[in-house]
Amino acid sequence: MTIQPATNPAARPDGPETSIIPAPRGGVTALRTHAFLAMLVALTLRLLFVLRFPTSAADDSEMYIQFARTWADYHVYGFLLSGHVVPADLRMPGYPAFLAVVAMLFGRSIRAIMLSQAALDAITCFLTAALAAALAPAASRRRVWIAALWLAATCPFVANYSAVVLTEILVTFLATAALCCFALGLRDPGNFFIRGEGQLASPLTLALLGGFLSGLATLVRPEMPLLFAVAVLVYALRSWKPLGARKTFLLAAAITGAFLLPLAPWAARNYITLKRVQFLAPRYANFPGEYAPVGFYQWTATWLERYRDVYFTIWKIGEMDQPLNVAELPSAAFDSPEEKARIANLFSKYNDSPDIDISPELDRTFSEIARERTGRHPLRTYLHVPFERALTIWFTPRTELLPIDGKFWPVREQWADSHADVLVTASFAALGYLYVALAAGGVWIAWAAKRKGGANLWGIAFLIAYCVVRTAFLTIVEAPEPRYVVSCYPAVLALIALRF
C-alpha cells in the first residue's frame, strides 16, 4: 500500500479553508498594491461626500445626538425635558454609544462624526472583500477578493451615508463582519468543532463570533435579529446531517447565547430603570403610555408604495404646521369618490385638532377603512403593495442625501430645469438595477460551476436568504425607506465579485 504525502487542506480547491484574505501565489505585492489604491479611492469618495455633501437628517439625527450628549454628560440614557433628565428607550443604544466615543476622542463636532464614519466604512470595504473570498473557490479566491474590494470602495450607495448622522455606516460594518464570520463557518461543518490546518478559527468559533456581532448590530438597529435568525436556520440545515439532531440543537443554542450576550446589559437596564424586560426599542418609537396611530399605518399599508408618499402622510403626523392634504395622495389611496370624501373629512378633523397626534377615535376610523379596503382587495394589501414596496426599497434612485430633487419624469421638463439632476438620478437608478443584475449573474456562475467544487454554496444561499428575509420584513414597515437595505449591499457586492 502506497502512503500518500500529507497535503494542506487549505490548498485544495474544495478544502475547508476559512482564511479571510486569500493566500496569493507570488502576488503579495499585487495584493498590497490593490489594497493601498482601493483604500485611497474609498477614502477619497467618502471624503467627497463628507466635505461637499454633508446632510442633516433632522429628527433622527438630532435624537441620536441628544441621546449621546445626555449619556456622556449625565450618565443617563435618555432626554433632557424641561431641565430634567428622563430615561428613555426610543432608540437602541449602539449608535449613541458610537457618537459618545467619537465625541470623547475627537470632539463634539458633526464633522468629526462624519470623518469617523468615512474611516469605518473604508474598513467595511475590506470586510466585503473578505466576505466575497469566503464564498469563492480557492482557485479564484484572490481575484474575487480584489474585485470585491474595488466594488466596495467605489460603491456610492453606502459611501454617501458617511455624510449623515444616521446608523447605516455602523450597522453595515457590524452586519458585514457578522456575515463574513457566518459564511466562513459554513464552509466545512464536517469538522465543525476542530480548527483545521490553515484556518483562522474553527467553524464553531466563527459561528459564535457571528452571533455575537449580530447582537452588537442589534444594539444599533432593532431589526438585525433577522440576520441572526436566518443564520441559525441555515446553520441548522447545513449541519443537521453531519452533526445530528442533538449537536445541531446545541449549536443553535450556543449561537443564540452569543447573540444575546451583548443585548443582556441593555435588557437589564430597561428592567431596572423602566421596569420592563425589553431587548429591542419600542415598535413605534413611542413613550410609555403614548398612543401610536396603528390604524393610520394600517390604512397606508393598503396603498402606500412610493417613498415620496411617506412625506405626505406618515412623516406629517405629529409635526406642527404640516397639515394633511388629500390632494397630495395618489389615486390608489381611494377606491371610490365616497372613500376619498371620508379620508378628506378625517384629514380635516386632524388638521383642525389642537393635538398634533392622531386621536384614538380618528385612528379607529382609519383602521376601519383599512379593513374595508383589505376585504375588497386582499391581494392588494398582502401581495401587490408589499411587492411594490420591495421595488421601491431596492430600485429608488438613492439621491435622497444629495442636493438634488431626484426627479426624472417628465424627462424634458426635468432636463430643462437641471441637466445635472437628471444625469445623477438616471445614473444612480441604473446603478441600482445593474448591481442586482450582476449579483444574480454571480450566483448563476457559482451554481453553474458547482460540479467543479470549491464554491461556498451554503454561504451564497445564506446571503440570498438574508437579503430576501430582510426585504420582506421591510415591506411591512410603515415607511419604505431605501436606506434600510444599505446594510445588504456588501452581500450584493460579494455576490457580484463571484463573476470573477
> Is the Cβ–Cβ distance between 490 and 131 less than 8 Å?
yes
According to the model, what pLDDT value does residue 240 have? Answer: 85
According to the model, what pLDDT value does residue 195 have? Answer: 57
Residue of 273, 251, 361, 233 whose CA lies nearest to 85:
273
Place of cell 393598503: 302
Report pLDDT digits (tens) over 132-165. 999 988 888 899 999 999 999 999 999 999 999 9
Report pLDDT digits (tens) over 448-464. 877 666 788 899 999 99
CB neighbour list of residue 28: distance below 8 Å, 6 or more residues apart: none
Cis previous bond, 13, omega within 30: no
48 conformational bin, left if phi > 0, alpha if psi -120 to 50, beta if neither: alpha
According to the model, what pLDDT value does residue 58 have? Answer: 66
Domain ranges of the chain: 27-276+424-497, 294-397
300 conformational bin, left if phi > 0, alpha if psi -120 to 50, beta if neither: alpha
Question: From CA 145, how far away is CA 111, in angstroms rounded?
Answer: 32
- Mean pLDDT over 62-86 rounds to 88
> Is the Cβ–Cβ distance between 467 and 488 less than 8 Å?
yes
How many angstroms separate the first and last alpha carbons of the chain?
41
pLDDT at 222 over 90: yes
- Mean pLDDT over 173-194 rounds to 83
According to the model, what pLDDT value does residue 277 have? Answer: 86
